[in-house]
Chain A
Amino acid sequence: MFKLWATIVKDMRVLIRDGIGLALMFLMPIVLVFVVTDIQNSTFKMINKNKLPILICNRDTAESGKQLIDAINKIGMFKVANLPKNQDERTIADSMKSTDDLLTVVIPANFTQKVKAKAKNTAGKALTSFGLQADSTQKNVGEVDPLTLYYNPVLQEQLRLSVKGGLQSALQLVESRETLRSLYFSINEKPLPAKLEDEMLSNKAKINEIPVSKNGSLSAPNAAQHNVPAWTIFAMFFVIMSLGGSVVREKISGSFIRLKTLPTNYVVGLLSKQITYVAVTVLQAVVIFGLGIWVFPLVGLPGLNLPSDIFGLFVVTLVCGWCAVSYAICVGVFAETHQQSNGFGAISIVILAAIGGLMVPTFTMDTSMKTIANVSPMHWCLQSYYGLFLEGGRLRDVLGNLVPIILISLVFQFITFLGLKRKNLI
């Protein structure tokens, strides 16, 4: 036991004198968690509070164009600004390139005419199908000319698709109104009363959004709840920059050779490194969670709410930390130089994070990528944390996610053992 204690003290001393390693393990993830949470929070605010700026060039001079702009305004997602109707495509494109405008919608010149013709046509078909006599002059008028949406390529696909969805619903509203008016006029030979029109078109059923949490909580998760656990896991795996280097340094400085000639098994050394660095990963989690709880609200970011099961959170952190440490030691044992350890370590962590769902959620991935995600320990770490932070679960709810982490860690430990044995170090 004294040997183990002396080794832990040695590892602690080596660690606290490794300024760069400490900075990489603590400062870098703190900066990351701030930046990513702020960016995601800004995106959330831009869509939900600040609104997305959109330019509209309405070449249609009649009422449907105006109705469409009105409908776009009512979606509540956009901050609309109008462009002169005579601007051509090149001018619009040049204007977008030289400004920060991300979106421009062009309403075609014959928009009202086409919408009305299509509405009349549809209404006629409807009357015929009701068994009533339709206007005999109706003919096939074709589709309404499409709106044109110019967008800056930096706009993320998800955001662009939601913009397109919003515009589609505004368009649908305009077309439906015109069809309704046409149908009403054909039957009653008088215009649709405004009150009835509003009633028929504005009776949208509301959507209640209810998070399905395990503890019955109805509070919606914020950007901090998503980002803080994810980047805490990333930080834990970043111990490879210090620990992997420490193992390599021991090997190339000849310390391993001396240790091998002493009457103590190197397993004591491995155990000490695991205890020391798992403690570091727990400390990382405490620091980053603390920032999320107390510092985020001070800088205008949503605060982190800890799960109700604090013991469960501790166990999950411990298991994730152990996995990160096992991986770092494994890489350190096989790397021949610092450069190999740090280079491979950093790149592999980014890859594991990407396929593990830290950067893009795994539910958006295709089936093959979802399968590959299962081999990333970060995926299971993230699922465990999300089970506690987002779903309001308890330890028993995330045990199924902890089992793969433990199995993957044991694989890393076994590979480490084989590596040390092969290199005649144990």
Chain B
Amino acid sequence: MALTDPLAIDIQNLGFHYPGNEGVTFSGLNLKIAKGARFGLFGPNGAGKTTLLSLMTGLLRANEGSIHLLGLDINKHDKAVNELFGFVPQDFSFYQELSPAENLEFFGAWSGLNKQQIKTKTDELLHILGLEAVRNKPVDKFSGGMKRRVNLAISVIHNPAVLILDEPTVGVDVQTRHAIINYLMELNKNGTTLIYTSHQLSEAEGLCEQVALIDDGKIIVEDSLTNLLKDHHQDSLEDLFLNLTGKAYRNDV
């Protein structure tokens, strides 16, 4: 059922609030992301992007409504759902004392791969992401860009059908950003749905074909990027963003 469902993500009537009602709140939020899409979720600081991604990945539990990933309710089939998606957290989520190969070996096992599959995927990913030369060096000596690539490699080792990325290129140089975006496009060509959030709107413009803008826990607009720019008479995603969310500072405490 999961792989035949036309929707990668189907969020219906989502309600969520943090304990004590601190931070962002969702109420009656609906969102559908087609399978195979390159979907961008954008918004100012504190708008609810990371919270929404955390709800999609099961890290947070919704108070109301439902979230289906490839047709599976994430609250009812959490382990089965976990095999279908990969998550690239904003923070470096791996063991810095270990090398890229050692990290991939461990996270590959936890992703359900066997020893041979891990070896094959490790060789492939380290080659594609330019980490072959440092495969056995501890990650804590790496630059920020190299760590971002390790973070991404771990998330895709099990060939996820849906890849959820929370600011995957923050703090990296142009070359690394270019390499990561190219690799994501390649994954999408092979059928991986990309759900992406970032503050790098020029980068996002090149990557995403579907866009949603979120502010204060509400989806303001959602459509293809081409339609949104045309409908709002804007030349770029950044102009559209400022036009819809305003220019005032946002303090996310």
Contact = CB atoms under 8 A, between A and B. Distances in A.
Given A2-B109, A254-B91, A254-B92, A261 B97 contact: no
A318 B87 CA distance: 39
Contact of A259 (B92, B108, B110): B110
B106 A258 contact: no
A261 B59 contact: yes
A253 B103 CA distance: 14
A279 B52 CA distance: 42
Contacts of A156: none
A348 interface: no
A254 B109 contact: no
Interface residues of A, number: 24
A10 B87 contact: no
6 interchain residue pairs of minimum CB distance: A6-B109, A254-B93, A258-B93, A254-B91, A263-B82, A10-B106
A3 B91 contact: no
B102 A13 contact: yes
B111 A262 contact: yes
Contacts of B144: none
B154 A14 contact: no
A97 interface: no
A7 interface: yes
B105 A6 contact: yes
Contacts of A268: 110
Interface in A258-309: 258-264, 268
B27 interface: no
Given A253-B92, A263-B83, A3 B109 contact: yes
A264 B110 contact: yes
- Interface magnitude class on chain B: 20 to 34
B120 to A, nearest CB: 15
Given A261-B57, A261-B59, A263-B83, A13 B97 contact: yes
B241 interface: no
A253 B106 contact: no
Contacts of B114: 2
A257 interface: yes
A44 B111 CA distance: 60
Contact of A258 (B79, B85, B87): B87
Nearest to B114: A2
Contact of A261 (B58, B80, B102, B112): B58
Nearest to A266: B110
23 contacts: A2-B115, A3-B109, A6-B108, A10-B98, A13-B102, A14-B98, A17-B138, A18-B97, A253-B92, A254-B91, A255-B95, A259-B110, A261-B57, A261-B59, A261-B85, A261-B87, A262-B111, A263-B80, A263-B110, A263-B112, A264-B111, A264-B112, A424-B61
B91 A14 contact: no
B110 A6 contact: yes
Interface in A223-266: 253-255, 257-264
Interface in B84-131: 85, 87, 89, 91-98, 102, 105-112, 114-115
Given A14-B95, A424-B61, 5 more contacts: A2-B109, A2-B115, A253-B96, A257-B59, A261-B58
A56 B214 CA distance: 91
Contact of A10 (B57, B89, B95, B155): B95
A254 B106 contact: no
A260 B85 CA distance: 12
Given A13-B97, A263-B82, A263-B112, A253 B57 contact: no
Contacts of B98: 10, 13-14
A45 to B, nearest CB: 46
Nearest to B106: A10
B97 A262 contact: no
Interface of A: 2-3, 5-7, 9-10, 13-14, 17-18, 253-255, 257-264, 268, 424
Contacts of B83: 263
A261 B107 contact: no
A262 B110 contact: yes
Given A263-B79, A263-B82, A254 B89 contact: yes
Contacts of B94: 253, 255, 258
Nearest to A17: B97
A19 to B, nearest CB: 11
Given A13-B98, A14-B97, A255-B95, A262 B107 contact: yes
A159 B42 CA distance: 76
A61 to B, nearest CB: 78
Contacts of A18: 97
A253 B154 CA distance: 15
B106 to A, nearest CB: 4
Contacts of A262: 82, 107, 110-111
Interface string B145-188: 00000000011000000000000000000000000000000000
Contacts of B92: 253-254
A255 B104 CA distance: 13
A257 B109 CA distance: 16
A380 B96 CA distance: 38
A141 to B, nearest CB: 82
Contacts of A264: 109-112
Contacts of A14: 95, 97-98
A255 B109 contact: no
Contacts of B93: 253-255, 257-258
A257 B54 CA distance: 10
Contacts of B108: 6
A424 B78 CA distance: 13
B97 A258 contact: no
B79 to A, nearest CB: 5
Contacts of A424: 59-61
Contacts of B85: 261
Given A14-B98, A255-B95, A260 B59 contact: yes
A379 B4 CA distance: 61
A264 B106 CA distance: 12
A257 B164 CA distance: 14
A18 B111 CA distance: 26
B225 to A, nearest CB: 28
A309 to B, nearest CB: 39
